[in-house]
């Protein structure tokens, strides 16, 4: 076994033992999902380049004018039909090779995945990195729950503010039409008007909170998890080609096998390099994501707390100061959209 196969820096192979009895294994829906993920990344035939000449390059059979002047010979031109057939044949062969390589890769990865799931193979595990990845997925699920609840709070509170606005208008109208209760209706109308104004200010703060959490969860975290998915695919490919190389290494060493062994070693090294690069990319992204998450959440949780506390304490000045502190601007009165919808 070569040193390249055995080097597992910061990783280890986890053998999965089995007694061969798969009838008692529970059904695993994730196996089908993983198989679909292996199959979904098919070959991109649209990126096939034309290598046979004739389009975009120097046309075969065209003689420069200087050559013609010095010679009375007439250079025969190739048949356009023959050249076109060669181009089509070249494209077809190239696309066939792409599909063939994709099919072989898919077969190896599917075989490795099933082998892992049913305990007949081993997989490379970076325990520290995979623990961090699982923690990120769990954190994302919890933040999504907070985001959903914050949006529900925004919708419910917006309905309350709209009701207060309508109630204030009704009190004001009755104040003008009921002389005997003018004062009572009047101060109730002013109270609802003030509550409505403070409510819109609070909605501005909560909407800013929702927008920031949404960006963190659905853009920043999702971007990191996309890299994680690429890393997990590269890990599966790496183990598939590692297993293939190990099986060939244990076979006979005739000329045919040695040729296949060299090819397998080259493919294994290529997938190993890809796996290690993506593993490093994931580690870096996880580190920066954690720093960014702490920074964003520190600011947003402080905003949410201060705004909610000031509103329910009836401290209008503190509520307005909170928006200034976090550079949140409301739309001017009379705008088409509610004033709380704009954040900066």
Per-residue pLDDT reduced to its tens digit, 1-48: 444 444 444 455 554 433 334 344 444 566 556 655 555 555 554 544
Q: Does residue 140 belong to any structural domain of this protein?
A: yes
Residue 266 has pLDDT above 80, yes or no: yes
Q: What does the pLDDT read at residue 289?
A: 96
Q: CATH number, domain at 141? A: 1.20.1270.60
Q: Which residue segment(s) compose the domain that 183 sits in?
A: 127-329
The verdict on residue 174 lying in a domain is: yes
Residue 3's pLDDT is 46
Q: Average of pLDDT values for 51-64?
A: 36
106 found inside a domain: no
pLDDT value at residue 84? 67
Whole-number pLDDT of residue 27: 47
* pLDDT at residue number 94: 64
User: 108 in a domain, yes or no?
Assistant: no
Rounded mean pLDDT of the chain?
76
- Measuring CA to CA, which residue among 11, 1, 33, 30 is closest to residue 238? 11
pLDDT of residue 22: 39
To the nearest 10°, the Cα dihedral for 51, 55, 56, 62? 110
Max mean pLDDT range (15-24, 175-184, 326-335)? 175-184
pLDDT for 79: 53
Q: Is the pLDDT of residue 113 over 60?
A: yes
Question: Does pLDDT of 241 surpass 60?
Answer: yes
Q: Considering its fold, how many domains does the chain have in total?
A: 1
Q: Residue 19: its pLDDT value, please?
A: 37
Rounded CA-CA distance 251/38 in Å is 28
Is residue 17 one of the residues assigned to a domain?
no
pLDDT band (50, 70, 90) for residue 280: very high
Residue ranges with strand state E in the chain: 12-15, 122-125
Give the whole-angstrom CA distance, residue 190 versus residue 236. 67
The answer to whether position 293 is within a domain reads yes
- Average pLDDT for 254-270: 83
The verdict on residue 18 lying in a domain is no
Report the predicted TM-score, pTM, of the whole model to 2 decimal places.
0.66
Q: Is residue 70 part of a domain?
A: no
Bigger pLDDT: 264 vs 193: 193
Residue 134: burial class (beta carbons within 10 Å; 0-12, 13-18, 19+) = exposed
Among residues 112, 122, 110, the alpha carbon closest in space to that of 16 is found at: 122
Predicted confidence at residue 10, as pLDDT, reads 44
- pLDDT band at residue 216, thresholds of 50, 70 and 90? very high
């Amino acid at each position: 076994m070569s040193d390249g196969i055995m080097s597992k820096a910061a990783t280890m192979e986890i053998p999965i033992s089995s007694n061969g009895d798969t009838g008692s294994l529970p059904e695993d829906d994730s196996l089908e999902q993983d198989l679909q993920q292996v199959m979904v990344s098919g070959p991109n035939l649209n990126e096939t380049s034309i290598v046979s000449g004739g389009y975009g390059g120097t046309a075969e059979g065209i003689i420069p004018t200087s050559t013609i002047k010095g010679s009375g010979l007439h250079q025969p031109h190739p048949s356009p039909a023959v050249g076109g057939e060669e181009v089509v044949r070249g494209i077809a062969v190239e696309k066939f090779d792409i599909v063939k390589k994709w099919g072989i890769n898919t077969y190896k990865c599917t075989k490795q995945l099933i082998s892992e799931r049913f305990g007949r193979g081993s997989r490379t595990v970076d325990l520290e990195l995979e623990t961090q990845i699982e923690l990120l997925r769990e954190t994302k699920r919890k933040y999504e729950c907070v985001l959903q609840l914050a949006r529900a709070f925004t919708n419910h509170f917006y309905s309350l503010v709209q009701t207060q606005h309508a109630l204030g208008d009704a009190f004001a109208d009755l104040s003008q039409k009921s002389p005997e209760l003018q004062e009572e209706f009047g101060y109730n109308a002013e109270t609802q008007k003030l509550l409505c104004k403070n409510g819109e200010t609070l909605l501005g703060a909560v909407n800013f909170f929702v927008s920031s959490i949404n960006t963190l969860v659905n853009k920043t975290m999702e971007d990191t998890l996309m890299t994680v998915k690429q890393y997990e695919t590269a890990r599966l490919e790496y183990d598939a080609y590692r297993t293939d190389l190990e099986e060939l290494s244990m076979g006979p060493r005739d000329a045919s096998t040695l040729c296949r062994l060299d090819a397998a070693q080259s493919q294994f090294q290529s997938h190993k390099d890809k796996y290690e690069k993506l593993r490093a990319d994931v580690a870096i992204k996880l580190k920066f994501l954690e720093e960014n998450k702490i920074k964003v959440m520190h600011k947003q949780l402080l905003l949410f707390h201060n705004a909610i506390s000031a509103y329910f304490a009836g401290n209008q000045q503190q509520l307005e100061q909170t928006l200034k502190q976090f550079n949140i601007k409301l739309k001017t009165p009379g705008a088409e959209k509610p004033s709380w919808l704009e954040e900066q």
